[in-house]
Amino acid sequence: MRLSRMGAFYPTRLSFMRKLIRRLNREQAVVSRPVWEIDVDGYGRAVYSVPLGGDVYSLVAFSTPLAPEHRSDRVIAEAWDTTYVLYDGVPTSRDLDRLAKNVPHQEAGRFAQTELVLCRANKSVRLFEHVVERLSHGRQPDAEMIRRIGYLLRTTAVYGNGKFGIADRSRIEMRPALHGAFQAEMLAVWLVRGFTHDLVEHIAVVRGGYHAVPLQAVVKRHIGVGNATGLGMAPFLISHPTLLHNWMLERETALAMVRAERHAAPETIDRFCTLVGRAGQHLEEWTTDDTIQASRTHSVRQELKDVAALTTSAWLAEPFPWDRLITHAERWSLECQELLVALILEPHGHLIDDIARHWSGAQTPQTAPGMTLRELDRHIANQFAWALAIDFGSPKASHYFWYVSEDKQEPRLGDRRNEAGADQEMPLDVARQIQALAQALTTSDPDETTATFLIRRPDLRYVVRRVQTAVRHPYSEIQDNLISADCRPIDLLRCKLAQFGASKFDPKSDRWTRITLFQGAPTFDTIHGSDADDWCFPILDQGDEAVTQ
Amino acid sequence: MLTTGVFQSSIRAMKPSLNEIDVVVRKAAVGVGWSYGVGEDVGRAAAWLVAQGHDGVGTAIAAIQPGASVARCEPTADGWAFPQARVAAVGLSAFELLAIDPSRRVILRNVDHPLLLIGLAGVAAVDNGGAYMLTGCTTERIAERINVSANHATFAGAKLTGETVSVERSTPSNHAPLETQAVAVIDDTVWRQALALAARTYVPASETSRAHGAGAGLTDND
């Protein structure tokens, strides 16, 4: 698993958002709004509740004034347009008052085990005002702006698993409704999206009175939630190796199962061809100022035309169509290869949707104490040859160091030779640690056990654990040097965000990106429909309803 | 003052999540100078202890204070012995040795923080599904799932300043549910001490760091 491929991932039907939406649809979930205390300017609080799997979850939303100079997507921001918690149950008035004193302060607040997720979002100034203005005058927003921007608010952090006193994941991980990675976080963001829809319609009615109109259903469905993501996501992938393994195992197993299909049914072929067309239009609507991503997107648009030309019904009707297509794709870019993975998985939900039921948990990496150093050395040679091949004598190989800033503990990347702080480096230099371990093994008794070795060398406990974890979890390590001058952290971000189900990556640098979440996903009103799972590669004109202006 | 026995909630106390405890104690250990891998073990042990109602944070913070940490392990007739058992340094190793040969036992002499040893036994039990007897430290069988109310009294009566502890593998004997949130509250002073040690792993802010370290754009008013 190389960074370059991870940096080309697309969301698939196995992405976390897709799983949540299928679950909400399967349970025919009904979202209610028991509290709406929003004033004429759009400020106040609201509560949305949804029963799921026998429990009720409530999004508590706070909307507050924010001066433009304080609007920042960075972790180091201290105020936001809107703030939220996902509450376990239905909050009482007393709970709401307690939350009102803490939630708007985010990291500076303090929370209880009844709070499952903490997050915040800032307005997309350019679209939010435009939509309110148009709706208040009885018009729908400009379709081109909806296509280009795609969200009214942009989340800037979504915290779970015990942060700032909220519930540990262990509180909810056994609940079937939230089984799987990041399901509580995804539920919170989906509810936030519904709040953004209600918020613009509310302000439009206040401004326009009887002239105002609600969002057209097709437009509403195309408005997702934005997200701005920085380096904080990158260390997560390194510090959760078994989770990463499970995600990749699910993906690779699903891909292998589809490739093993001897024949494609006619309806599957039709579906695939329809999706290729839709993906082409989706790519046309994906805009970014980032020159690297823009170039890649341009290339994949052209390559997708080649895909469409190749994959005629007759070509796909021959044996093993999906295996042949993936093999054929090796001549195209990684971006196109990964797009094809998403495209061929999509029509095979019946085959692959449930394969990961038992894999989604994250086991804590463990040592294998009885393993001899000879065996350990052999595993390093077999699985970490990529790490041993790196020349750390070259300054370029250790150019960066990862660290946590005292500025609200924001993860950052520093230039080792020109910035202070390398003495507090985070252990993301896995390849370099592997080499240190391999060196230590050259002077050790090969028959010695790991257990006694670690008594002598506790400094190597962390990397020994990683190697031994990789033996059991072969997808647990990213096979690249994360401190190299060539490292592009944004590749890590894209991998994780694609697993979430994010689309329309809009990088702002090599370590920061904006994305769109839940674009095209069912809304509160349409979650019960038969097309609830049909929102991959969303386009504004999807469906029968024309967009009015 | 740091406590080593059953934790009594103080007037000024807070209740962090287990994940916060794990992370903060791990960082604190690294901040003091322990390796990241040892920090992981101590952090998990602290969280496990708190989940059982004990002062895992205070115990861990006391146990990681600077001092000699060179571990020496000697073979014995029926297992292994650590003559100077600094628990933060050798604690998990005792259980790893027993994973090689469950029929043997490990003797730890001059144990400095027995409660942390119990926490590490809990971590080992979680990882391998077994159980441990820590003779000389507690009469409670330490397993992944232990009965909180029962062990509270047992731990309270244990000789928590014991000098010699014999560790042996056992089998789990009960099936009390795992705690899913921190049972013990944490003394505010102890928690602040842990946070201060953890903060040693943070790099001081600078304009360069703020401007370039995260790679964000210049404006978000768009």
Cross-chain residue pair A166–B17, CB shorter than 8 Å: yes
Residue A142 near chain B (CB below 8 Å) = no
Residue A246 near chain B (CB below 8 Å) = no
Cα dihedral across residues A245, A247, A248, A254: positive or negative: positive
Nearest to A511 among B203, B205, B214 (CB): B214
Q: Which residues of A touch B181 (CB under 8 A)?
A: 113, 167-168, 170-171
What is the full per-residue pLDDT of chain A (549 aa) written as tens digits? 899 999 999 999 999 999 999 999 999 999 999 999 999 999 999 999 999 999 999 999 999 999 999 998 888 899 999 999 999 999 999 999 999 999 999 999 989 999 999 999 999 998 999 999 999 999 999 999 999 999 999 999 999 999 999 999 989 988 989 988 999 999 999 999 999 999 999 999 999 999 999 999 999 999 999 999 988 888 999 999 999 999 999 999 999 999 999 999 999 999 999 999 999 999 999 999 999 999 999 999 999 999 999 999 999 999 999 999 999 999 999 999 999 999 999 999 999 998 877 665 667 888 999 999 999 999 999 999 999 999 999 999 999 999 999 988 889 999 999 999 999 999 999 999 999 999 999 999 999 999 999 999 999 999 999 999 999 999 999 999 999 999 999 999 999 999 999 999 999 999 999 999 999 999 999 999 999 999 999 999 766 566 776
Q: Using CA atoms, how far apart are residues A19 and A356, in angstroms rounded to an integer?
A: 11
Query: Residue B4 pLDDT > 50, yes or no?
Result: no
A424 Cα distance to chain centroid: 28
Say which residue the tokens 């490292």 belong to: A487
Q: How confident is the model at residue B157 (pLDDT cuts 50, 70, 90)?
A: very low
Q: Which residues of A touch B17 (CB under 8 A)?
A: 113, 161-163, 165-168
Q: In what order do the strands lie in the sheet with A512-517?
A: A32-38, A44-52, A55-63, A82-88, A115-123, A151-159, A224-229, A512-517, A503-509
In a mutagenesis test of the B interface, which of A163, A412, A514 is the best target, namely the one with the most B β-carbons within 10 Å?
A412
Closest A-chain CA to B100: A370
Residue A444: C-alpha distances to residues A438, A447, B164 (Å): 10, 9, 30
Q: Using CA atoms, how far apart are residues A485 and A217, in angstroms rounded to an integer?
A: 47
Burial of A383 (0-12, 13-18, 19+ CB in 10 A): middle
Closest A-chain CA to B199: A406
Q: Using CA atoms, how far apart are residues A72 and A410, in angstroms rounded to an integer?
A: 14
Please answer whether residues A84 and A103 qualify as being in contact, where contact means their C-beta atoms are separated by less than 8 angstroms: yes
Question: Torsion angle, CA of A145/A147/A153/A158, rounded to 10 degrees?
Answer: -160
Residue A419 near chain B (CB below 8 Å) = yes
Q: How confident is the model at residue B6 (pLDDT cuts 50, 70, 90)?
A: very low
**B69: closest CA of chain A, how far (Å):** 10
Q: Which residues of A touch B37 (CB under 8 A)?
A: 458-465
Residue A197: C-alpha distances to residues A79, A190, A216 (Å): 22, 11, 11
Closest by CA to A233, choosing from A118, A288, A156, is A156
Q: Using CA atoms, how far apart are residues A498 and A11, in angstroms rounded to an integer?
A: 4
Longest dimension (CA), chain A: 84
Nearest to B38 among A168, A427, A461 (CB): A461
Q: Are strands B164-170 and B202-203 parallel, antiparallel or unpaired?
A: unpaired
Nearest to B18 among A126, A162, A413 (CB): A162
Q: Which residues of B touch A463 (CB under 8 A)?
A: 37
Please answer whether residues A149 and B4 qualify as being in contact, where contact means their C-beta atoms are separated by less than 8 angstroms: no
Cross-chain residue pair A406–B99, CB shorter than 8 Å: no
Q: Give the per-residue pLDDT at A360.
A: 58
Closest B-chain CA to A124: B222
**B103: closest CA of chain A, how far (Å):** 14
DSSP A214: P
Residue A313 near chain B (CB below 8 Å) = no
**A37: closest CA of chain B, how far (Å):** 26
Q: Using CA atoms, how far apart are residues A246 and A244, in angstroms rounded to an integer?
A: 5
Nearest to A168 among B18, B35, B38 (CB): B18
What are the backbone angles phi and psi of residue B13, rounded to the nearest 5°?
Answer: -145, 160
Cross-chain residue pair B209–A419, CB shorter than 8 Å: yes
Query: Residue B151 pLDDT > 70, yes or no?
Result: no
Q: Using CA atoms, how far apart are residues A13 and A534, in angstroms rounded to an integer?
A: 9
Closest by CA to A65, choosing from A85, A39, A47, is A39
Nearest to A451 among B97, B127, B202 (CB): B97
Q: What count of other Cβ atoms lies within 10 Å of the Cβ of residue B19?
A: 21
Q: Using CA atoms, how far apart are residues A272 and A346, in angstroms rounded to an integer?
A: 8
Angle at A184 between CA A428 and CA A243, to 5 degrees: 35
Closest B-chain CA to A422: B203
In a mutagenesis test of the A interface, which of B203, B208, B222 is the best target, namely the one with the most A β-carbons within 10 Å?
B203
Length of chain B counted residue by residue: 222
Nearest to B100 among A170, A369, A463 (CB): A369
Q: Which residues of A touch B206 (CB under 8 A)?
A: 419-420
Cross-chain residue pair B213–A410, CB shorter than 8 Å: yes
Run of H or E residues at B170: strand B164-170
Q: Which residues of A touch B217 (CB under 8 A)?
A: 73, 508-509, 512
Nearest to B96 among A125, A451, A460 (CB): A451
Kindly write down the DSSP assignment for every residue of A131-157, as one continuous string.
HHHHHHTT-PPPHHHHHHT-EEEEEEE
**A473: closest CA of chain B, how far (Å):** 16
Q: Are strands A411-415 and A44-52 parallel, antiparallel or unpaired?
A: unpaired
Q: Which residues of B touch A414 (CB under 8 A)?
A: 203, 209, 213
Nearest to B100 among A403, A413, A449 (CB): A449
Q: Using CA atoms, how far apart are residues A161 and A185, in angstroms rounded to an integer?
A: 10
Query: Residue B7 pLDDT > 80, yes or no?
Result: no
Q: Using CA atoms, how far apart are residues B121 and B134, in angstroms rounded to an integer?
A: 9
Q: How confident is the model at residue B10 (pLDDT cuts 50, 70, 90)?
A: very low
Cross-chain residue pair B96–A76, CB shorter than 8 Å: no
Q: Using CA atoms, how far apart are residues B81 and B76, in angstroms rounded to an integer?
A: 7
Closest by CA to B92, choosing from A150, A111, A455, A374, is A455
Residue A459 near chain B (CB below 8 Å) = yes
**B182: closest CA of chain A, how far (Å):** 9
**A168: closest CA of chain B, how far (Å):** 6
Please answer whether residues A151 and A128 qualify as being in contact, where contact means their C-beta atoms are separated by less than 8 angstroms: no
Size of interface A-B (CB pairs under 8 A): 177
Closest B-chain CA to A414: B213
Residue A113 near chain B (CB below 8 Å) = yes
Q: What count of other Cβ atoms lies within 10 Å of the Cβ of residue A530?
A: 7
Overall average pLDDT of the B167-191 stretch: 75
Q: A430-441 and A373-383 are packed helices; what angle lies between their axes, rounded to 10 degrees?
A: 140
pTM for the whole thing? Answer: 0.94
Closest by CA to A271, choosing from A346, A200, A332, A206, is A346
Query: Residue B112 pLDDT > 80, yes or no?
Result: yes
Instruction: State the amino acid at position A112 in one-letter form.
Output: A
Please answer whether residues A471 and A484 qualify as being in contact, where contact means their C-beta atoms are separated by less than 8 angstroms: no
How many DSSP H helices and E strands does chain B contain? 8, 9
Retrieve residue A298's tokens: 């341009």
Closest by CA to A257, choosing from A352, A158, A116, is A352
Chain A residues 334-393 within an 8 A CB cutoff of chain B: 364, 366-367, 369-370
